[in-house]
Amino acid sequence: MSDSLKKTLLFGAMALLLVGEGVFVSWNSALGILNFGLISAILALGVNLQWGYAGLFNVGIMGFVALGGLAVALTSMPPETEAWSASGGWRILAALVIGAAVVALTVVVQKKVSKGRAKLIASLVILIGGFFIYRGIFDPGVAFVEAINPASAGNIGGINPGGENYKDHGYMTIIGWIVGGLLAAGVAWLIGKTALGLRSDYLAIATLGIAEIIIAVMKNEDWLARGVKNVSGLPRPVPYEIDLQNSEGFVATAQGLGIDPVTASTLYVKLGYSLMFTAVLVLILVGAQLALHSPWGRMMRAIRDNEAAAEAMGKDVTNRHLQIFVLGSAICGIAGAMMTTLDGQLTPGSYQPLRYTFLIWVMVIVGGSGNNLGAVLGGFLIYYLFIKVEVWGPEIMTLITSGMADDSWLKEHLIDSAAHMRLLTMGVILLLVLRFSPRGLIPEK
């Protein structure tokens, strides 16, 4: 079987699965899976860039996804005007600048001052003194902002120019995607600067920690994006269902097509998202493919396969690693921003490493690390399975236990727990692929 035929067949099968979902379950559910599948595919592309091209082991994907979501909230919501006074938002901003300056100063001292006791004492004095100055300025600002109307706000808001009518400025969310990418890239640069020199499993632990810290910050810093109180009602780049249902033209068209206007409106919205996400996916995929086949991509793979040899050829390994780490993380940030847009709300409590980090790894490994099309296929397929196993699990379990007595506790327990089958299934799939087809469904050429 030729290579391109295999790819066509695999993608065709994936499309059939989605069409089957549409025909046998509902088109709403099919489009829902498609949309999240598109986002998963973008995430998988980002991770594939880091792991497949460069061999960087990043298990902090969740953190970058969350940063993307944060960026959407900070971009698309209107500013809380009351919070932006000298004793509120500006004060916090000043404190953050001072905090950054303290860290920068410590780094300079570490680099410039010659080794000895003076260096240690100077760094400690700067760090400890700086910390107290920072907290002294920061804490009152936070208290001020969080005291303003805590039930509905208590945060600094975003930069949407619309004010009261911010929902009319849906394009701001799309700007939020770009901001999400930039924010994730910035944080990735900071992490990369400190952690990329480490060996692979240290880098893994480091990124795992960073992701937990990012989530902790988002949960606890209420002034930023309301923490666990969530930011809901984010504006959308697509129309609202209710507006469509009230528009006579839309209702007439829907009825003309023989679809119930309510269903038609939800389909219309989801389809709108699908088109946007597809556009982003295609853009990133084409970019990644071009990069892979460019001299830069060949250099990356050369570094991955033999770092020492590449270094001997004069390649700057550390900087190239930093570059690709930032790029891949930025893509994860964009995907995270899109996910939050699709949800319509930012819920820091919902970020779980199994779902947002390790599941993405399953996608990349199953799809085929080092191959962009493989990553995309893996994204769709694993997300589809992740959703469907939760549905199939109880159904299969009901079938298996149908012989048991109806009031048996075991039967009840088995059916209740069947929903947890999906983690188990994901693990089994990952292990099976690693064992019998370690290069994935669509291997690297």
Binding residues (CB under 8 A) for other proteins: these are 55, 57, 131, 139, 194-195, 198-202, 204-206, 208-210, 212-213, 216, 219-220, 353-354, 358, 361-362, 365, 416-418, 420-428, 430-431, 434-435, 438
Query: Other C-beta atoms within 10 Å of 99: how many?
Result: 17
Nearer to other proteins, 28 or 123 (CB): 123
Nearer to other proteins, 7 or 119 (CB): 119
CB of 423 to other proteins, least distance (A): 4
CB of 356 to other proteins, least distance (A): 13
CB of 76 to other proteins, least distance (A): 26
Between helices 261-292 and 372-400, what is the axis angle to 10°? Answer: 140
Token pair, residue 357, equals 């980090």
Nearer to other proteins, 208 or 334 (CB): 208
Alpha-carbon distance 189 to 183, whole Å?
10
Nearer to other proteins, 30 or 59 (CB): 59
CB of 195 to other proteins, least distance (A): 7
Nearer to other proteins, 196 or 338 (CB): 196
CB of 247 to other proteins, least distance (A): 44
Nearer to other proteins, 320 or 422 (CB): 422
CB of 83 to other proteins, least distance (A): 21
